[in-house]
Amino acid sequence: MPSLALVRIFVAGDADDDVSELTPGGSPVVRFAAPDLQRAQRDGARIRADGREVAAILDVAVAVPGDYRSDGHDPTVRYAGTVDGLAGLIADIERAGVADGVTLIPAAGLPRQDLRRLGHDVLARLAAGERSSA
């Protein structure tokens, strides 16, 4: 399993296929969405088990900070909270083998966030956590 320093983070743009990576690239990716982390773990394992050299990248709808209320119809893992909490969630996703990275997408019904800045903040916290645990 890759170290957290190698977790891949992408951010979504305005169009569904408009995604950019904030981390150094690597193998081709397969983006996927899941309603919860248990399902995401199964789906991520299935993507990686088919023999192709691909990274499984989980979509995570984010609201940082904020009050996020969902109508329950979005089949995407959702997170509402602090940047530190989001970094912890992403670290847990990688440690548990759920996915090789995440795509930060805007939470529905909220004002547009600067996902690129948020992604860089998360990467800084992940790097700081790696240094402090070494």
Element (H, E) at 26: none
Full-model pTM: 0.71
pLDDT of 1 > 50? The answer is: no
Q: For 31-82, how does the pLDDT look when each residue is reduced to its tens digit (9 = 90+)?
A: 999 999 999 999 999 998 877 788 899 999 988 764 444 444 567 888 888 9
Q: Check residue 122 and give its pLDDT.
A: 93
* Separation CA 48–CA 1 (nearest Å): 12
Tokens 């993507």 locate to 47
User: By percentage, how much of the chain surpasses pLDDT 90?
Assistant: 39
> What pLDDT band is residue 113 in, cutting at 50, 70 and 90?
confident
Three-state secondary structure call for residue 116:
helix
Q: For 79-94, how does the pLDDT look when each residue is reduced to its tens digit (9 = 90+)?
A: 888 999 999 999 999 9
Q: Check residue 124 and give its pLDDT.
A: 92
Q: Which of 84, 72, 133, 132 is nearest to 108 (CA)?
A: 72
Domain ranges of the chain: 4-133
